[in-house]
A and B are shown apart, each in its own frame.
Chain A
């Protein structure tokens, strides 16, 4: 009955650190350490947090036409992505729905992709089926672990192992040797803070994690704080804030569609669902993802209905919880377009009682990416 859970290369370390483990995307993952979610969240924003995100999927594309091939699957400029840079991207389906969100990095001799854990097998199959004839699609699911070091002290910590990372700016990516392991390091993350994501061969993952945890600024951080950090940063969680039933336009992710690939762009369209997405941009959408600031102390969680002043249901919360840095509950959700303007006052139904919420700008907490 209970399906056996997969383990990341850091599983034993999590147990040693006293983590509380939960099933997540088929993996046995740390939701929190003895420090607890609130303090882990605050520690990440104040100093540096180390996250095990090895459950996520890492994929390499090699060959002569990787960029044009990948452009047939994402509304993003990959051909124009410089060596040493990465970009946020979306796999779309024929209806314009979102199959997954991902990071794409140009390492010069290959494209390096990081996809969501729950979608990684489907993404790999999608890539092989759709562009497998045009480039080589290689899964690194078993070969590489992924660590995220996030927070204002991340750069000084990582620079002790490799001084050159201090020169990187937001969305830079490069190969770096860390403790003798061939790593791929990007200056990015999903917390709204400055920081790095580090792809390391499985055999080097534990020693690298231990080396970073030995630094005084670094605490191990679980999935609980990862979720509250990304929520405050206004970032979408796939399967909750977007899925195959939502388009980039509805999900307020038009910013992720590169100019070159939009209707008026140099390489317009050519990705699945382009016509549907362009039509929505032209004609408007009936609903949209918005940020919600909760006007009371009670947390408003995923699934809560959003109603107008007359009690008519006009939307639904897709992510919500307490924002420790904000010191208040925050949420995001989809609302009918008539209610999507900033400052619109709505109510979220929590245990059959209306809780006042206001449509608000995201991120809820200012992003602190290092842009040089």
Chain B
């Protein structure tokens, strides 16, 4: 299973069908604190860096950017009623959206698990 990470603490998991599932890391959910609202993107193409989601914790709002160019195929509807799933299970039930990358090679340019682990240790 291929997993890559961004400096903005997103994880990207390559699925068997070539699509990519995106969420935030355990480190990120812990730093944000209890989430009370998640606004997810529309089903359309977004460019890398475009704002695709807003996370509201009890403390503040933060933005999630599109990690690589691509089209959003599916969003995790369960989060609108249960945003706490992001805190409880960030890597599985707390996923945000599934996307098709514009360039399948783009995933490889992101951080590996080891590089990400070093980033959050620093």
A interface vs B, CB < 8 Å?
31-32, 36-39, 41, 224, 228, 297-299, 301, 321-322, 324, 329, 351
Contacts and interface: CB of A to CB of B under 8 A. Distances in A.
A370 B88 CA distance: 37
A301 B61 CA distance: 9
A341 B61 CA distance: 30
Contact of A299 (B33, B56, B87): B56
Contacts of A41: 58
B34 A298 contact: no
A299 B59 CA distance: 10
Interface residues of B, number: 15
B116 interface: no
B86 to A, nearest CB: 13
B58 A324 contact: yes
B54 to A, nearest CB: 7
A244 B80 CA distance: 40
A232 B87 CA distance: 23
Given A224-B59, A322-B56, A36 B37 contact: no
Given A297-B37, A298-B37, A322-B37, A37 B59 contact: yes
A36 B33 CA distance: 7
Nearest to B38: A297
A329 B60 CA distance: 13
Interface in B3-62: 33-34, 36-37, 39, 54, 56-61
A36 B87 CA distance: 11
A32 B33 contact: yes
Contacts of B54: 351
Contacts of A224: 33, 58-59
